[in-house]
Amino acid sequence: MDDYSSRAVELGRYISENHATVRSAAKRFGISKSTVHSDVTSRLRLADPVLYGEVRKVLDLNKEERHIRGGLATREKYRREGLLHR
C-alpha cells in the first residue's frame, strides 16, 4: 500500500470511528478539506472498500445535517455578539 492509500485508510478510520466531518478531519491531520475528500472518496474506495462504505454513510449523514450545524453556528455567533436575546 502506498503512502496515499495509507493516509486514506487512516482518514477513513478516523472519520468512521469519530463520526467526524471532512473539516474536522482536515484540521486533525493538518491537510486541506479537498485532500481529505479526495482521499476518502477516491483512494479509499480502492484501498479498503468496506471502510469506504462506512465512511460514505458518515459523510452522507453529515451532508444531511449540515444545515442544522450552520444554523446553530449562526445563532451562537449572534448570541456572542449580543444581537440575540434569549
In the predicted model, residues of the chain with pLDDT beneath 70 are 85-86
pLDDT at 71: 80
What is this structure's pTM?
Answer: 0.77
Secondary element (H or E) of residue 66: helix 49-80
pLDDT at 81: 85
pLDDT at 25: 97
Give CA–CA dist 75/69, Å, rounded. 10
